[in-house]
Amino acid sequence: METNNVLDQLTFSENSPVKTMLLQHEHFGLARIALGKGAKIPPHQGGHAIFFLVLQGRGIFTCEEEDVELTQNQYLYIKADETRGIQALEDLVVFVVKG
């Protein structure tokens, strides 16, 4: 058994996302992404499905050509072949499940 707090040792950068792998399994990965206000992950093509859950903050999430604003406790699922990106409107912490 493994336990921890997903917000432990949290750091932000306004220049780039701070990605922390929480668990890597052969079929999925769990990560935390922290983006300081104004930081971006530019839209890009992913080779895997992904689930984003906002733990704190607010950001614009891109899926294909559509942008959606998400806040705490809201989530977004993106299929493997869809373009994705994130822009932090304020300090943003996202829990990520990568398929």
pLDDT in tens, 3-41: 889 999 999 888 889 999 999 999 999 999 999 999 999
Tokens of 26: 């052969």
Q: What is the CATH number of domain 37-71+78-99?
A: 2.60.120.10
pLDDT digits (tens, 9 = 90+) for 39-89: 999 999 988 999 999 999 999 999 999 999 999 999 999 999 999 999 999
* Predicted local distance difference test score (pLDDT) of residue 14: 81
pTM for the complete prediction? 0.92
- d(Cα 26, Cα 47) in Å, to the nearest integer? 15
Give the confidence band of 94 by pLDDT, cuts at 50, 70, 90. Answer: very high
What is the chain's mean pLDDT, rounded?
Answer: 94
Burial 30-67 (b: 16+ CB within 10 A, else e): bbbbbbbeebbbeeeebeeebbbbbbebbbebbbeeee
